[in-house]
């Protein structure tokens, strides 16, 4: 009966035109920015101005669009805008200005669009405070420091709050709750009040110890359907390539970092709706190969422990997994490289041993299931 | 209707464990009563809990505080789970058995049991492959006394999802259901699965009886011999044979058998089966070393046929052993039989191995330490009168966004029973309930530990101390560092050729 029901032609799934929240994660590691400046001439102040223009462009698209900026600093992640409630927002540098300079500044600010100004003031003030709190020892201790997973965590929890009202994008069981949440504004079927996207402007190398936590963040973004865009100005990276690929975001390594604004505007500005109809300038060949845990070799074919999923380039010594200490059964691997020969016919009752499992014979020999 | 179901389940999920060969519903009750007669007590149904009795009005007559407390309690209920790292069967082989007997036409679950089951089964498939990317699934239906295969054992979620489409579904609920036939078919499907993975059967059982061609207990014993684990979700009431087979195949543990109370509970029970099962005894699976290929992705100028579906595609993954083109991962190479996965698939399973600790509720005495959620800036209610805002560490006010202001003023006026703050035991940062749930269900990280500098090392230290305590647990920190080192090397090896051919801009000075 349902098959001849034609009402679906008339009931178009309403896909409300939702506003977008843009979260920008900026590396604020001074060492990395200095290195970038020496190699390409783009310093942090210029870059920050250009990123702010990008954020303003995003805000200008719609009155209900919003933006958040998170600093991925040496050893921690911090909200630059919106600043944590209760934090001090006075610009530490402004106090030192002469009255005349202050007048000029305030005049400049008076003619600025309020939303832009709030964002810019917050970001600049929070950033100055962040840099003031950073000591030389911190830099020396941790020149490649980055808290990428923390920044991603902050971004995602914030998106969860702003775009989903804290429901985590769960549909189905949470349907009733969503309707309550939607009392005020437009909501799509998953209870999403806003779209969201994350842009990571990165200059630091991959934080290798954070691999698992970064990937956890990436998968959470995937669940929330939040694309992670990556603008990699320095140091090619594997994590962020995989992040952009998994979430459907754009990955770009600008050839001329000085023209950052151009890249940002052309590559990263389009929102979710527009992205459906344009070809994104993303990188297609992503490196998905794995490195083994024993010799750190990059592998095409490797051996994986079935308990802890550690990767080895050859069966470990004594057949004991070096990570979880489990005694492994390697009997199935002994005939690797030898031609696969069908085993002699045995009595039907005989239990199948592992010798079949790895060589691929198992899948071919599906037995007919007893029916009825 | 719903009430009577509830009563029964509550009683039957009690602690009696004795093996019962053939017990009807009546018998269960009777024996229970006999036990109870020793010490006379009120029966479950005599204690009526009215939800409105538990609500306590605040001084000004509002119940907002109590409502928030109740809401949080229900949210929280899901969350508290055991977080010690336990060995789990990461590589799973599961047969989902759906009941398509005439009992599924019942409308006690909206719209009907059948349609709701199909919908939840689709959700289950998606969630299952999200949680267990390198696992396999197959779907079998119990229809008119027979077992019918809906989809074959495979690792591609879209195959199963197309098989479960409502409009194109080949079967309508009809006749009786036969547990034995379905179990035998599932057993045959799991017969060839490799020994390192788990073998599981997950039955959705809507009927209250099973019409079998032979003795089902023999089948159950055969399942035990084949070390297959069974989980059952009952849609109507507890059935003795289901309970028996769950207990026998799970070493006497019947927690894998649940009877649904309502739609939401049904979903909960189904989703509970998506997280990998705990490895209970050494015999359930033999750890082994798997040979796996990590294929690279290619993009072609012209369309070529893929070797898995014979579709024309313009790109795909190349098997490192036999160089055939595959369009979907993870899979087994159709040509040479090598298991092909991406390193991200392995990474997706890691959070089962390192679960995030439960966060603890913050008492009002410590609540003054924070005024808002660390990660989402949600404003917490301030203390009941004694603590004024000026006492709190951070001065209050100056919020920039509308929603924060609104919720703040709202919360100021109510006195709440709970502080609504939850603290990570490692970094002591305060979070709201929504972030708590999000962090535990989706993110699997603590934003505080990751974003606050000093606590990072502290958190790691805790991981290592807990892991050495129990030999069954995995050596978490060891693995973490190994993963880290490995990826570092990968990155280096990747960069080296890149600098030579790529842009000179990226080279360090």
Q: What is the CATH number of the domain that holds B431?
A: 3.30.40.10
Distance (Å) from the C-alpha of residue B347 to the closest C-alpha of chain A?
7
Of B267, B348, B494, the CB nearest to A287: B494
What mean pLDDT, rounded, does chain B reach? 75
Check B482 against A87: CB less than 8 A apart. no
**How many Cα neighbours within 13 Å face the side chain of A94?**
14
CA distance linking residue A77 with residue A150, whole number of Å:
6
A364 within some domain? no
Q: What confidence category does residue A341 fall into, taking pLDDT thresholds of 50, 70 and 90? A: low
Average pLDDT over residues B23-27: 45
Distance (Å) from the C-alpha of residue A31 to the closest C-alpha of chain B?
12
Q: Where are the alpha helices (DSSP H) in chain A?
A: 30-40, 44-61, 99-110, 114-132, 136-141, 148-164, 175-181, 211-224, 239-247, 260-263, 272-275, 361-364
Instruction: Answer yes or no: do A236 and A307 share one domain.
Output: no
Instruction: Answer yes or no: do A232 and A315 share one domain.
Output: no
B276 within some domain? yes
Give rounded-to-5 percent helix, strand, coil for chain B: 40, 15, 40
Give the per-residue pLDDT at B19. Answer: 45
Instruction: Answer yes or no: do A320 and A178 share one domain.
Output: no
Pick from A244-253, B45-54, B87-96, B362-371: least confident: B45-54
A15 within some domain? no
Instruction: Answer yes or no: do A111 and A28 share one domain.
Output: yes
Task: Find which of A307-316, B77-86, B94-103 is predicted with most confidence, using mean pLDDT.
Answer: B94-103
Instruction: Answer yes or no: do B341 and B381 share one domain.
Output: no
Instruction: Answer yes or no: do B100 and B189 share one domain.
Output: yes
Tell me: cis bond preceding B330? Omega within 30 of 0 counts: yes
Check A371 against B147: CB less than 8 A apart. yes
Searching chain B, which residue's CA lies closest to the CA of residue A340?
B336
A301 within some domain? yes
Instruction: Answer yes or no: do A180 and A222 share one domain.
Output: yes
Give the per-residue pLDDT at B301. Answer: 84
Searching chain A, which residue's CA lies closest to the CA of residue B142?
A372
Instruction: Answer yes or no: do A185 and A297 share one domain.
Output: no
A87 within some domain? yes
B11 within some domain? no
What CATH number corresponds to the domain at position B103?
3.40.50.410
A240 touching chain B per CB within 8 A: no
Structural domain including B299 reads 292-352
Searching chain B, which residue's CA lies closest to the CA of residue A73?
B451
- Own/partner pairs for A5-14, CB < 8 Å, 24+ apart? A13/A189
Instruction: Answer yes or no: do B329 and B379 share one domain.
Output: no
Check B486 against A367: CB less than 8 A apart. no
Check A369 against B299: CB less than 8 A apart. no
Instruction: Answer yes or no: do B120 and B257 share one domain.
Output: yes
Instruction: Answer yes or no: do B275 and B304 share one domain.
Output: no
What CATH number corresponds to the domain at position A107?
3.40.50.410
Give the per-residue pLDDT at A313. Answer: 85
Contacts of A85 in chain B (CB under 8 A): 371-372, 377, 379, 394, 396-399, 404
Instruction: Answer yes or no: do B311 and B162 share one domain.
Output: no
Q: What confidence category does residue A136 fall into, taking pLDDT thresholds of 50, 70 and 90? A: confident
Instruction: Answer yes or no: do B197 and B230 share one domain.
Output: yes
Instruction: Answer yes or no: do A169 and A54 share one domain.
Output: yes
B491 or B375: which leads in pLDDT = B375
Instruction: Answer yes or no: do B145 and B260 share one domain.
Output: yes
Secondary structure class of A69 (helix, strand, coil): strand
B375 within some domain? yes
Instruction: Answer yes or no: do B311 and B374 share one domain.
Output: no
Share of chain B above pLDDT 90, in %: 26
A100 has pLDDT over 70: yes
Check B376 against A166: CB less than 8 A apart. yes
B220 within some domain? yes
Check B377 against A161: CB less than 8 A apart. yes
B223 within some domain? yes
Distance (Å) from the C-alpha of residue B444 to the closest C-alpha of chain A?
6
Of A297, A359, A362, the CB nearest to B192: A362
Instruction: Answer yes or no: do A296 and A167 share one domain.
Output: no
Instruction: Answer yes or no: do A47 and A100 share one domain.
Output: yes
Q: Look at chain A and report how many structural domains it folds into.
A: 2
Searching chain B, which residue's CA lies closest to the CA of residue A352?
B192
A77 within some domain? yes
Distance (Å) from the C-alpha of residue A97 to the closest C-alpha of chain B?
24
B159 has pLDDT over 70: yes
* Burial class of residue A10 (count of CB atoms within 10 Å of its CB; 0-12, 13-18, 19+): exposed
Check A158 against B375: CB less than 8 A apart. yes
Query: Which pair of tokens denotes residue A167?
Result: 């429901």
Instruction: Answer yes or no: do A212 and A120 share one domain.
Output: yes
Give the per-residue pLDDT at A239. Answer: 83
Average pLDDT over residues B274-302: 79
B415 has pLDDT over 70: no
Give the per-residue pLDDT at B80. Answer: 61
Instruction: Answer yes or no: do B230 and B112 share one domain.
Output: yes
Of A237, A304, A324, the CB nearest to B290: A304
Using alpha carbons, list the distances in angstroms from residue B141 to A281, B30, B177, B198.
46, 34, 9, 21
Check B498 against A237: CB less than 8 A apart. no
Query: Which residue of B89, B261, B288, B329 to mutate against A (max A Cβ within 10 Å)?
Result: B288
Beta strands in B306-419 (DSSP E): 312-318, 325-326, 331-332, 339-340, 360-361
A358 within some domain? no
Check B434 against A167: CB less than 8 A apart. yes
Share of chain B above pLDDT 70, in %: 69
The complex's ipTM works out to: 0.79
B483 within some domain? no
Average pLDDT over residues B395-423: 49
Structural domain including A305 reads 289-335
B308 or B37: which leads in pLDDT = B308
Q: How many CB atoms lie within 10 A of CB B143?
A: 26
Query: Which pair of tokens denotes residue A197?
Result: 């996207």
B64 within some domain? no
Give the per-residue pLDDT at B395. Answer: 36
Strand order in A251-252's β-sheet? A77-81, A66-72, A20-27, A195-202, A228-232, A251-252
Instruction: Answer yes or no: do B216 and B148 share one domain.
Output: yes
Distance (Å) from the C-alpha of residue B17 to the closest C-alpha of chain A?
31
Q: Which of B246, B266, B283 is the last residue of a domain?
A: B283
The pairing of beta strand A228-232 with beta strand A195-202: parallel
Q: Following DSSP, what letter does each residue of B99-131 receive, concatenated?
A: E-SGGGG--SSSS-HHHHHHHHHHHHHHHHHHH
Instruction: Answer yes or no: do A248 and A300 share one domain.
Output: no
A135 touching chain B per CB within 8 A: no
Give the per-residue pLDDT at A338. Answer: 53
Distance (Å) from the C-alpha of residue A256 to the closest C-alpha of chain B?
7
Average pLDDT over residues B390-395: 37
Distance (Å) from the C-alpha of residue B11 to the closest C-alpha of chain A?
25
CA distance linking residue B252 with residue B18, whole number of Å:
9
Instruction: Answer yes or no: do A183 and A327 share one domain.
Output: no
Contacts of A235 in chain B (CB under 8 A): 495, 506
A282 within some domain? no
A56 touching chain B per CB within 8 A: no
Check A330 against B288: CB less than 8 A apart. yes
Give the per-residue pLDDT at B103. Answer: 92
Contacts of A64 in chain B (CB under 8 A): none
Of B192, B196, B481, the CB nearest to A366: B192
Give the per-residue pLDDT at B309. Answer: 85
B132 within some domain? yes
Q: What confidence category does residue A172 fall into, taking pLDDT thresholds of 50, 70 and 90? A: very low
pLDDT tens for each residue of A343-366: 666 665 555 454 444 444 444 444
A361 touching chain B per CB within 8 A: yes
A202 within some domain? yes
CA distance linking residue A157 with residue B77, whole number of Å:
20
Pick from A335-339, B355-359, B381-385, B419-423: least confident: A335-339
Q: What confidence category does residue A159 fall into, taking pLDDT thresholds of 50, 70 and 90? A: very high
Instruction: Answer yes or no: do B246 and B105 share one domain.
Output: yes
Check B434 against A168: CB less than 8 A apart. yes
Check A305 against B351: CB less than 8 A apart. no
Distance (Å) from the C-alpha of residue A277 to the closest C-alpha of chain B?
19
Average pLDDT over residues B232-256: 91
Q: Look at chain B and report how many structural domains it folds into.
A: 3
Check A84 against B498: CB less than 8 A apart. no
Check A309 against B90: CB less than 8 A apart. yes
B387 has pLDDT over 60: no
CA distance linking residue A184 with residue A336, whole number of Å:
63
Of B120, B193, B450, the CB nearest to A150: B450
What mean pLDDT, rounded, does chain A reach? 78
């Amino acid at each position: 009966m349902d098959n001849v029901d034609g009402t679906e032609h008339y009931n178009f799934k309403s896909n409300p035109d939702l506003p977008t929240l843009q979260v920008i994660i900026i590396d604020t590691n001074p060492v990395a920015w200095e290195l970038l400046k020496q190699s390409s001439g783009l310093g942090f102040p210029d870059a920050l101005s250009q990123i702010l223009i990008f954020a303003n462009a995003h805000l200008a698209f719609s009155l209900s669009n919003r933006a958040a900026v998170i600093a991925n600093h040496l050893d921690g992640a911090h909200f630059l805008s919106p600043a944590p409630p209760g934090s001090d927002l006075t610009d530490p540098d402004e106090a030192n200005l002469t009255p005349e300079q202050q007048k000029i500044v305030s005049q400049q600010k008076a003619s600025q669009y309020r939303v832009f100004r709030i964002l810019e003031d917050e970001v600049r003030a929070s950033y100055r405070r962040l840099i003031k709190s950073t000591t030389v020892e911190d830099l020396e201790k941790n020149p490649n420091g980055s808290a990428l997973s923390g920044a991603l965590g902050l971004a995602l929890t914030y998106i969860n709050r702003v775009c989903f009202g804290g429901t985590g994008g769960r549909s189905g069981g949470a349907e009733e709750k969503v309707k309550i949440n939607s009392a005020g504004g437009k909501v799509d079927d998953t209870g999403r009040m806003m779209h969201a996207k994350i842009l990571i402007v990165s200059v630091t190398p991959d934080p290798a110890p954070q691999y698992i936590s970064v990937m956890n963040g990436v998968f959470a973004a995937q669940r929330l359907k939040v694309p992670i865009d990556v603008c990699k100005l320095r140091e090619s990276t594997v994590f962020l390539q995989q992040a952009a690929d998994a979430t459907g975001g754009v990955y770009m390594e600008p050839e001329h970092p000085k023209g950052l604004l151009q890249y940002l505007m052309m590559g990263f500005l389009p929102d979710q709706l527009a992205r459906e109809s344009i070809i994104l300038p993303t990188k297609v060949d992503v490196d998905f190969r794995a490195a083994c845990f024993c010799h750190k070799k990059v592998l095409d074919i490797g051996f994986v422990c079935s308990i802890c999923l550690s990767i080895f380039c050859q069966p470990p010594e004594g057949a004991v997994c070096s990570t979880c200490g489990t005694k492994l059964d390697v009997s199935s691997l002994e005939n690797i490289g030898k031609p696969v020969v069908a085993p002699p016919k045995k009595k039907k009752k005989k239990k199948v041993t592992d010798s079949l499992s790895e060589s691929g014979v198992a899948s071919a020999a599906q037995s007919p299931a007893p029916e009825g | 209707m719903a009430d009577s179901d509830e009563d029964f389940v509550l009683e039957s999920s009690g602690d009696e464990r004795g093996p019962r060969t053939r017990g009807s519903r009546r018998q269960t009750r009777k024996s229970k009563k006999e036990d109870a007669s020793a010490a006379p007590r009120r029966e479950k149904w005599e204690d009526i809990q009215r939800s409105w009795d538990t609500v306590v009005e605040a001084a000004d007559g509002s119940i907002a505080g109590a409502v928030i407390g109740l809401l949080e309690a229900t949210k929280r209920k899901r969350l508290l789970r055991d977080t010690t790292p336990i060995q789990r069967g990461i590589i799973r082989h599961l047969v989902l058995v759906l009941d398509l007997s005439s009992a599924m036409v019942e409308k006690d679950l909206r719209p009907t049991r059948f349609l709701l089951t199909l919908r939840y089964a689709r959700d289950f498939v998606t969630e299952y492959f999200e949680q267990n990317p390198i696992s396999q699934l197959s779907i079998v239906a119990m229809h008119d006394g027979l077992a019918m295969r809906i989809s074959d054992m495979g690792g591609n979620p879209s195959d199963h999802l197309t098989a479960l489409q409502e409009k194109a579904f080949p079967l309508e609920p009809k006749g009786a259901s036969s547990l034995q036939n379905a179990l035998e078919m599932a057993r045959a499907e799991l017969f060839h699965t490799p020994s390192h993975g788990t073998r599981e059967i997950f039955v959705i059982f809507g009927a209250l009886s099973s019409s079998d061609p032979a003795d089902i207990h023999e089948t159950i014993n055969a399942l035990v011999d084949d070390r297959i684990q069974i989980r059952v979700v009952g849609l109507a009431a507890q059935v003795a044979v289901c309970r028996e087979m769950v207990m026998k195949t799970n070493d006497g543990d019947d927690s894998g058998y649940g009877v649904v109370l309502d739609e939401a509970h049904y979903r909960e029970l189904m989703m509970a089966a998506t997280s990998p099962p705990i490895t209970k005894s050494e015999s359930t699976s033999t750890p082994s070393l798997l040979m796996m290929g990590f294929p690279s992705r290619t993009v072609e100028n012209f369309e070529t046929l893929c070797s898995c579906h014979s579709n024309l595609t313009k790109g795909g993954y190349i098997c490192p052993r036999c160089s055939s083109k595959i369009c979907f991962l993870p899979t087994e190479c159709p040509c040479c039989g090598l298991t092909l996965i991406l390193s991200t698939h392995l990474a997706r399973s890691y959070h089962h191995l390192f679960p995030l600790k439960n966060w603890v509720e913050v008492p009002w005495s410590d609540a003054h330490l924070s005024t808002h959620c660390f990660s989402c800036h949600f404003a917490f209610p301030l203390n009941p009168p004694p603590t004024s805002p000026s006492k709190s560490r951070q001065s209050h006010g100056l919020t920039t966004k509308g929603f924060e202001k609104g919720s703040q003023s709202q919360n100021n006026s109510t006195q709440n029973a709970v502080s609504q703050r939850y603290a990570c035991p490692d970094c002591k940062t305060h979070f709201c309930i929504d972030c708590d749930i999000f962090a535990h269900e989706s993110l699997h990280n603590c934003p505080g530990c990751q974003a606050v500098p000093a606590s990072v090392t502290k958190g790691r230290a805790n991981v290592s101390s807990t892991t050495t305590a129990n030999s069954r647990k995995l050596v978490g920190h060891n693995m973490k560092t190994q993963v880290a080192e490995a990826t570092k090397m990968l990155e280096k090896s990747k960069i080296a050729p890149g600098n030579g051919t790529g842009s000179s801009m990226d080279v360090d000075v």
